[in-house]
Amino acid sequence: MRYISTRGEAPALGFEDVLLTGLATDGGLYVPESLPHFSVEEIRSWRGLPYAELAYKVMYPFVEDAIPADDFRKMLGETYSVFSHQAVAPLVQLDTNEWVMELFRGPTLAFKDFALQLLGRLLDYVLEKRKQHVVIMGATSGDTGSAAIEGCRRCEHVDIFILHPYQRVSEVQRRQMTTVQGDNIHNIAVKGNFDDCQRMVKESFGNQSFLSGKTQLAAVNSINWARIMAQIVYYFQASLALGGPDRSMAFSVPTGNFGDIFAGYLAKKMGLPISQLVIATNRNDILHRFMSGNKYEQHQLEHTLSPSMDIMVSSNFERLLFDLHGRDGAAVKDLLERAAKGPVSIEDYRWKHARKLFDSDAVDDKTTCDTIRDIYEKNEYLLDPHTAIGVRAARNCRRDSTVPMITLGTAHPAKFPDAIAESGLVVKPQLPAHMADLFEREERYTVLDNNVSEVQGFIAKHWKNA
């Protein structure tokens, strides 16, 4: 399988090179030249498979040119054996035909573990084969950083530099990153917001001269295709558990960078019956404004109780735009260049095509807290603020009550105690046993100005062989 850039100018690459490259040389994102497609009969035959084996069935076509089947199966078995629930992604029922899929049973209590536990093993495998060293540079709005560090900290051939917005992630999220010890782990708190951090990462990938040609950058953000690939699997898992593929499913996805919901879009294109995808956002609602009114316009970023979605530049949205424009890279490049200068829209027929599958909603902090309280009072089930936004958006946008609606539960509520307290509940979410001493562990991080040269200088000085 070959991978092409959403901007049409970079050369097509194989899986190994896409894994290590992240951002294409033309500034675009890599997507498969073509997708595998599974028949209803084939999907039905996967019922009852353990999660790791289902992951093999869904993902192997993407990597078969690079990794032998037995090696990939072993990698997947190791990846999902560290999750705290035998089902890996268990479903919890909230109401008639309404479910939450718990994606926070991994080691860092967030859905990012599904992809980043695998990504670390993929990097180790490929870098060992190539006898190559890379520098991982990533930006996080809260959860990606800890999942990337946990997934990659044992990799012998990487140094990890994670940027997070200073004082704009929850304390639990910060400590999960900054208390992991290792000479190859570096946390950078940038005096800015997530979009500033993400911009620095993209700029650094575009010009890596600060590394003097001694190593290269590798991506852990959802710009890396391997992240998206791994997230496709749990859509199949949820569907199979609730009667799919013989009945269609609807999903509500709390999303800021559009990666998690784009994986659902791909699952549908690969043959899984999905009738509706709900984009659930907070006050930083650029995706909702586009999907509801065909206007893509950046506003001032706001700090909310759901910080992992405090994002205004949704990188993976480019991958959907590429499909909506008939995979015309030049058209996507032109649109995004205009979007950087002001509001843009796409042709009405393209937008209406997207609306056949996608709906959207934006949920403010008050409604988020109301939803947390309401679900707990009726079900004694505690939602984190991001999942609460997903549940509220699902209820506001649901098209057909006979179709199962599944909200992706993206994080453990213990990561966001301030939101739980603000909802008026006296219950205090507890960290699981393996994290019980989190607030006693020593932290290590460096605060830097919102300046790309300063960040690049820090990386150039501190990677292993600098």
In DSSP notation, 387-445 reads: HHHHHHHHHHH-S-TTS-EEEEE-B-GGG-HHHHHHTT----PPPPGGGTTGGGSPP--
Using the CB atoms, write b or e for 91-108: b if 16+ within 10 Å.
beebeebbbbbbbbbbbb
Has 428 been annotated as catalytic? no
Q: Does residue 92 contact residue 102 with C-beta atoms inside 8 Å?
A: yes
Among 62, 2, 59, residue whose Cα is nearest residue 33: 2
The secondary structure of residue 34, as a DSSP letter, is S
CA gap 376, 423 in Å, rounded: 10
Options 112, 202, 268, 333, the catalytic residue: 112
Per DSSP bridges, beta strands 3-5 and 30-32 are antiparallel
Which helix or strand (DSSP H or E) is residue 348 part of?
A: helix 348-355
Classify residue 31 by burial, with Cβ atoms within 10 Å: 0-12, 13-18, 19+. buried
446, amino acid identity: T
Sign of torsion, CA 94 99 105 111? Answer: negative
Classify residue 321 by burial, with Cβ atoms within 10 Å: 0-12, 13-18, 19+. buried
User: Which residues are marked as active site?
Assistant: 112
